[in-house]
Amino acid sequence: MVREIYENELSKLLNLYLYLHEKSVPERTEHLKTTWETIIKDKNHHIIVNEADNKIVSSCVCVIIPNLTRNVRPYAFIENVVTLKDCRGRGYATECLNYAKEIAKMENCYKMMLLTGSKEESILKFYRSAGYNSSDKTAFIQWLE
């Protein structure tokens, strides 16, 4: 079942993120609590999860970004697409991305953007099959310390 995350599911999400690029679950600090509260209360920040057998098996984040161009239409940014290793290839992430697309359509977004750090052809093929392309724009990243 695809849906938006519930406020009490932070621990489940952080454990899922161990399959993304995290090495450990962050400590339960005041900063973590404040950040989580900010995300949960932000109407433009959507954490989408896919639940199977009473556990979160896949997730993505969809952030709607207000915009002054393109007829003052917002755009959507997709990040943190992840699925439990033993649940990959079953369509869970695709369902999350489709849910994000519906949110973007409801918000009148003119485009969706997604970045991946992966160079694995299977992952790039997955994003292409989900409707994304890597030919329209060039992404540049500057990491801040």
- Residue 6: which CATH number? 3.40.630.30
In a domain, 33, yes or no: yes
Buried b (16+ CB within 10 A) or exposed e, 45-81: ebbbbbbeeeebbbbbbbbbeeeeeeeeebbbbbeeb
Residue 26 belongs to domain spanning: 2-117
How many domains does the chain fold into?
Answer: 1
Residue 21 — pLDDT band, cuts 50, 70, 90? confident
- What's the CA gap between 57 and 54, in Å, rounded? 9
In a domain, 130, yes or no: no
Residue 85 — pLDDT band, cuts 50, 70, 90? very high
Quick one: average pLDDT of 4-16?
97
